[in-house]
Structure formats: C-alpha cells, structure tokens
Amino acid sequence: MNLNDAADEISRRLVRIFQKDKTGRRPVYGNLAKFQDDLYWRDYVLYHEYFHGDTGAGLGASHQTGWTALVARLLDDSSRKADEQELAVVNDKPLPLATYVTTTPPRKNKLDKGRKGRSS
C-alpha cells in the first residue's frame, strides 16, 4: 500500500461515519433516535469534535465544525470520483481513472483586480 492508497482508505473510513448504512442509520448519530429516525432531523449532518473508536458515534461538541468539516470535502471528492468512474467507460470498457481527467480553469484572485500596470 502506497501513501495515496493509505490516504484513500482514511478518507473512506471518515466518510463512512457520516453515510447511512444498510439499515439507513448513520454511525455518527449512535443511538440518538431523534437524529436516526426523525423525518426532520435525520438528514442533517453534525460534525463532532471526535468519535467513538468502535461505533463511530459522534462525541464532544457538535456546534463547532472544526477539523471534521473536512469530511464535507471528502464526501464531495468521493462523489465526484464515483461519478468519474461511472462516466469513464468507452465501448463498454472502463478506462483507467487516470485517463479520465476533469479540469477546471484556475480561479482569479479578487485582490488581483485592478493591479495591472501598477509598480511595486
């Protein structure tokens, strides 16, 4: 296992804490019925300070999004990767993921606006 594989595995493990399992329950909510079953609460995802090592239940403050908010980015990345894998098929043959690359133009820095021609 190389470093990239290890990073992918850590990402998968973190993401699984927040995703619904086969029974429709999220490990992050543990046994909190309100968040597991209530129609108005079950799809709101809270990012806790830390998690129970065996169950994945969220522990500590949930009102501060701290470092675990990075899971939102991991969820987005894993969703995009899954979409790319589904789309990366030509003539019923899957392409290696590396050959299917989506690119986005570089973002312009708002502070650069109006700086042309100025000397430092």
Check if the beta carbon of residue 100 is closer than 8 Å to that of residue 84. Answer: yes
Closest Cα to residue 65, out of 73, 57, 55?
73
Give the chain's end-to-end CA distance (angstroms, integer): 49
What would the pLDDT profile of 33-65 be if each residue is shown by its tens digit?
Answer: 999 999 999 888 888 888 888 998 988 887 766
Q: Which of 19-28, 57-66, 72-81, 92-101 comes out lowest in average pLDDT?
A: 92-101
Closest Cα to residue 56, out of 17, 14, 25, 11?
17
Q: Give the span between the Cα atoms of 84 and 9, in whole angstroms.
A: 18
Question: pTM surpassing 0.85?
Answer: no
